[in-house]
Structure 1
Amino acid sequence: LLMVWKHNCPDIFQAHVWMTPECFDVLPAALQDDPVFQNQSNVLQMPVDAQLAIALYHFGHDGNA
């Protein structure tokens, strides 16, 4: 759903991940070659942009505020 909002409702996307879609688009390209996003098992990882969107959502919503 976050990725749908990124393309169709950028204001809702920004409210959930705390950055604009344009700023967000820079991050996956910068992070995709990091070993944490590489998998040596038979189980595929989610795409980097999806993992990043989920992490940013949790960083902004699961605090003690």
Structure 2
Amino acid sequence: MEGMVICSTASGAGYYVPKNAAEVKHFILEMEKRGRECYAAASMARQWMVNNGLDTPSESVVVDVL
């Protein structure tokens, strides 16, 4: 295998090197889930701004890749 994966899934829990492929898979799924949740929250906040006649941050460009 090439490279190294360093994971962190809990705030304050620190970083760890996964022991096996199952731990890497778990990390990937957890990060994808968080990404979807963050994207949904940002989208709702942006829609709130639009609905209330406010400008949305122009530097904030979100690309839906999930």
RCO greater where, 1 or 2, for CA within 8 Å and sep 6 or more?
Answer: 1
- Max radius of gyration: which structure? 2
TM over 0.5: no
| Structure showing the higher helix proportion among its residues | 1
Taking structure 1 as the reference length, what is the TM-score of the superposition?
Answer: 0.28
Taking structure 2 as the reference length, what is the TM-score of the superposition?
Answer: 0.28
